[in-house]
Chains A and B, each alone.
Chain A
Amino acid sequence: MAAENDFNNPTPASEPPAVEHLNIKVTDNNNEVFFKIKRSTQLKKLMDAFCERQGKQMSTVRFLFDGTRVRPEDTPDTLEMADGDTLEVHQEQIGG
C-alpha cells in the first residue's frame, strides 16, 4: 500500500527560496507509506501522520534512519537525508 502525503506549510516570507521537497519512504516491513516533506519540516509531523494512518501510538513505535533513532524535532536537513531515503519503523522492544 502506498500513499502520498504532502506537507505544505505556510512558509514565512523570510524563508530562503530554495525549498526542496523530498520523498521519504516510511516502512515497518509490512506497510510502506510515502511522504513528501520539506527539508526543513520537523519529522514529528511525518511520524504523527504515519501513526495516525496505521492506527498506532507514537509511544509504541521507533523511527530509525540508517540505524539511528530519529528525534521528533529532527528534519531531513539535520539528518542529511536524500530524496528516496527510507525511515524504518520498529516496534517497542520489551524483555525480562
Chain B
Amino acid sequence: MRHELDHRAMINKNCLRRGCGRATVALEELSQELSVKKQKLKDDNARATLYYKLIEECGPGDLATLGSGNNHAWEKILSLQDASFLVSFRHRQFPKVETAARELDFPIARLMIKALIACGWKYKELAGSKTRLLEQLSRFVDIQKLAQGEIIKIVNDIPHMPPREQRCSKSNGNKRKSTSPQPSTKKQRNSMKEQNVKFQYGENERMGDASCVLKYISTEGISEPASVPGIETTDCLKLPTSLQAESTTIISDDDNVEDNYGSNNGPQLLMYPYLGKKQAQVEAQDLKRLCNNKFLNDNLIGCYIRFLEDHLDRTNKEAANWVFFFNTYFYTTLTDRPNEGPINFKRVQNWTKGVDIFSHDYIVVPINESMHWYAAIICNLPYLQGVSKMAPRLNDMIESQNKANPYNDHPTAKVQDPVIITFDSLNGDRSHTVRKLRQYLAEEAKSKKGIGINTDLIAGLKAESLPMQSNFSDCAISAYVCAISLTTFAMNKNK
C-alpha cells in the first residue's frame, strides 16, 4: 500500500530535483529511462501531487487511514480542491477518524523515509533535499538527525532505526526499484503491520499492571486514564500536560451547531477502550483524583475495571469467559431504597440481558458504600447445586483459600464450593453485602433460569491478610489490587 505512494513520490521528487520548470522534460527522460509508458507515469505523477496535497493539509497519517493504492475511488475522483474539502469535511464530521490519522502521522512519515532509503537514497541526500515531500515530512521528523541516519520524531524519541546499507546512486536505485519492487513492498507491509499492532495494543501485552497503562497513554497517545496500584506515598501522578490536551477524544462536536440545549464546552471525555463496546468514560477533571490523598470516583474505577476486562480478553480469551465484571453502579442500584423486599432486583434485572452469570466462575462486584470502595467476588457459581450439571473443572483454588478465612457461619469452605468473598481494606464486617448478593443470585436464578437455588450453599468469606489502608483515601487502590490478583489468578488457573 505504501509502496505505491513512495514509488510515485520518488518519481515526482526526481522531477522536482531536476528543476520545477523542466518537469515535463524530466518526465519524458524518466519514462525512457525506466521504459514505462508516459501516460502511466503522468497518472502516477498526478496521484502523487494529490498525496502531497493531503500531506500538506494534514499529515501522512491521513494517507494510511484513507488507504492508497491503485483501485481506491477517492484517488481517481478527487481533484486538488476536493482534497482540502474532504479534509475539512472529515474534521467536522468524523473527529475520531481525524484523531486516529494524527496518531499515525509519525509512523507513516518514518515509513516513507525508510522506503526512500530502500530505493537508494542516502540519509544525507534526503536531509538536504528541498522538495515538497521532505518539507512536509520535516514537520514530523527531525531533519538534522536524519542526516546522521536516524529517524527521530520531533517531540518524542522513538526506537533508533539502524541505518540501512547504503545503496548505489539514485538513478540506479530507481531502475532497481522499477524492476524489482516486490521485496521492499513486502518489507514495508510487514513493518506497517507491526506498527498497527503496536498501536492497538501498545506495550501492555507484556506487562500486567496498570503502570503500563500510563506508559501506553504517553507513548501511543491513546486516551486512557488509569491509576497505579500500590501507590501510597508517591507524589501526585504527573500526567504530562500535553497529554491531556492531545489525547482527549473530542466527541459530540458535530451537529451541535444548531444545538440549543448543550453548550459546546461540555465535559471532555477520555474513552477506554479507544474503540469498541462498553467504553469507560473519564473526564479530564477526574484525572486530578489520581493525586495522592484524593478519593477516586466511579469513572476511574470503572475505567480500570474495563481495562482489566479488556486486557484479560486480549491476553487469555478462555479465562475471560470465566470472569464477569459488574460495573460500580450495580450494587448501588441493587441496594438503593428498595420498594419491596430487601433488594431492588427489578432495577437490575435487565443488566444481565444476554449474559448467564451462572456460567461464570468469578463475578466481580465493585462496591461503593458510604464513601468507601471495596469489592466482592462471587466464585464458583457453576458448581452450585442445581445450577448446572457440567462436570467440575479441574480447579485449583488453593491460592484463594490461603488468602481467605471463613466467616463464622461457614467455617469450612471446600475448593469448589460457591462462595462470595469480600475484599475490603478497612476489614469491615460485610456480611450484609454477602446477604444481599445471595438474595440477588436467588432472584436472578428464578427469573433467568426458572430455578430456585439454596443460597445457604453459598458461603461468605472475608479475604484476610490484605494490605490494609492506613489512611482514608487508599481503599480504592486496594480494591484494584484485588481485582488484578483475581485476573492474574484466572489467567494462570488453567496452566
Q: Which residues of B contact A90 (CB under 8 A)?
A: 298, 329, 332-333
Q: Is A59 touching B283 in the complex (CB atoms < 8 A)? A: yes
Given A44-B266, A67-B348: A93 in contact with B474 (beta carbons within 8 A):
no
Interface residue ranges of B264-282 to A (CB < 8 Å): 266-267, 269, 271, 278-281
A29 at the interface (CB under 8 A from B): yes
B74 at the interface (CB under 8 A from A): no
Q: Is B350 touching A94 in the complex (CB atoms < 8 A)? A: no
A22 at the interface (CB under 8 A from B): no
Per-residue CB contact flags for chain A residues 31-65 toward chain B (1 = under 8 Å, else 0) read: 00000000000101101110010000011001010
Q: Give the CA-CA distance A95 to B373 in the complex, in Å.
A: 5
Q: Which residues of A contact B368 (CB under 8 A)?
A: 93-95
Q: Is B296 touching A48 in the complex (CB atoms < 8 A)? A: no
Q: Give the CA-CA distance A88 to B258 in the complex, in Å.
A: 27
Interface residue ranges of B327-385 to A (CB < 8 Å): 327-330, 332-333, 336-337, 347-348, 350-353, 368-369, 371-373
Q: Which residues of B contact A42 (CB under 8 A)?
A: 252, 255
Per-residue CB contact flags for chain A residues 1-45 toward chain B (1 = under 8 Å, else 0) read: 000000001100000000000000000010000000000001011
Q: Give the CA-CA distance A90 to B61 in the complex, in Å.
A: 39
Per-residue CB contact flags for chain B residues 4-17 toward chain A (1 = under 8 Å, else 0) read: 00000000000000
B297 at the interface (CB under 8 A from A): yes
Interface centre among B302, B329, B373, B476 (most CB of A within 10 A): B329
Q: Is B371 touching A95 in the complex (CB atoms < 8 A)? A: yes
Which residue of chain A is the closest to B469 with respect to CB atoms? Answer: A96
Q: How far is the CB of A81 from chain B (nearest CB, A)?
A: 12
Interface of A is mostly: mixed
Q: Which residues of A contact B332 (CB under 8 A)?
A: 90, 93
Q: How far is the CB of A48 from chain B (nearest CB, A)?
A: 3
A72 at the interface (CB under 8 A from B): yes
Q: Is A96 touching B371 in the complex (CB atoms < 8 A)? A: yes
Given A29-B337, A67-B348, A72-B251: A95 in contact with B281 (beta carbons within 8 A):
no
Q: Which residues of A contact B294 (CB under 8 A)?
A: 96
Q: Which residues of B contact A68 (CB under 8 A)?
A: 278, 327
Q: Which residues of A contact B399 (CB under 8 A)?
A: none
Q: Is A94 touching B371 in the complex (CB atoms < 8 A)? A: yes
Q: Give the CA-CA distance A61 to B348 in the complex, in Å.
A: 18
Q: How far is the CB of B257 from chain A (nearest CB, A)?
A: 11
Interface residue ranges of B428-475 to A (CB < 8 Å): 471-475
Q: How far is the CB of A77 from chain B (nearest CB, A)?
A: 14
B262 at the interface (CB under 8 A from A): yes
Q: Which residues of A contact B333 (CB under 8 A)?
A: 67, 88, 90
Q: Give the CA-CA distance A73 to B271 in the complex, in Å.
A: 12
Q: How far is the CB of A53 from chain B (nearest CB, A)?
A: 10
Which residue of chain A is the closest to B369 with respect to CB atoms? Answer: A95
Q: Which residues of B contact A45 (CB under 8 A)?
A: 259, 261-262
Interface residue ranges of B293-344 to A (CB < 8 Å): 294-299, 301-302, 326-330, 332-333, 336-337
Q: Is A96 touching B281 in the complex (CB atoms < 8 A)? A: no
Given A49-B261, A59-B283, A71-B251: A95 in contact with B372 (beta carbons within 8 A):
yes
* Selected contact of A95 from candidates B258, B295, B327, CB within 8 Å: B295
Q: How far is the CB of A3 from chain B (nearest CB, A)?
A: 14
B71 at the interface (CB under 8 A from A): no
Given A71-B251, A96-B476: A66 in contact with B328 (beta carbons within 8 A):
no
* Selected contact of A96 from candidates B299, B302, B336, B472, CB within 8 Å: B472
Which residue of chain B is the closest to A45 with respect to CB atoms? Answer: B261
Q: Give the CA-CA distance A88 to B473 in the complex, in Å.
A: 28
Q: Give the CA-CA distance A52 to B336 in the complex, in Å.
A: 24
Q: Give the CA-CA distance A95 to B289 in the complex, in Å.
A: 11
Q: Which residues of B contact A52 (CB under 8 A)?
A: 261
Q: Is B266 touching A72 in the complex (CB atoms < 8 A)? A: yes
Q: Give the CA-CA distance A7 to B301 in the complex, in Å.
A: 34
Cross-chain pairs A/B with CB under 8 angstroms, 12 sampled: A9-B255, A47-B262, A49-B261, A62-B298, A66-B353, A67-B333, A69-B278, A71-B271, A72-B266, A93-B329, A95-B373, A96-B474
Q: Which 9 A-B pairs have the closest CB atoms?
A: A67-B351, A48-B262, A96-B473, A93-B298, A96-B295, A95-B373, A93-B368, A48-B261, A66-B350
Instruction: Please name 14 further chain A to chain B contacts, defined as beta carbons within 8 Å, in addition to the given A49-B261, A68-B327, A71-B251, sorted by A numbering.
Output: A42-B255, A59-B285, A67-B326, A69-B279, A71-B271, A88-B333, A92-B297, A93-B329, A93-B332, A94-B298, A95-B296, A95-B475, A96-B295, A96-B472
